[in-house]
Amino acid sequence: MEIKILGTGCAKCGTLEKAVKEVVDENGFQASITKVSDIGEIARHGVMLTPGLVVNGKVVSVGKLPDKNEIKRYLEQEQ
C-alpha cells in the first residue's frame, strides 16, 4: 500500500503523518509512507486544502485531521 501525506509543514500535517504511522504500526499494514510538501505535486492531486491523505493514488481526506479510526477505515478500504 502506498500512502502519501500532503502538506506544506503545518502542525496538522505533522500530526496526520504521526497518526498514519501509528495506525500502520498498530494494525500491521504493509505500507510505504511518503510526506509530500511540494505545492505543485499537492495540486496535481487536486488538493487545495491541507493536510491531504492519499492511499494507493486515491485522495481519501482533504483539509481536515481524521482521527485514527477514520485513518484505519481508509487503509482497510484500500488494502
How many Å separate Cα 63 from the centre of its chain?
Answer: 11
Q: Which position among 1, 2, 8, 10 bears the catalytic label?
A: 10
10 tagged catalytic: yes
Place of cell 482497510: 76
Q: Which position among 13, 20, 31, 71 bears the catalytic label?
A: 13
Kindly list the catalytic residues.
Answer: 10, 13
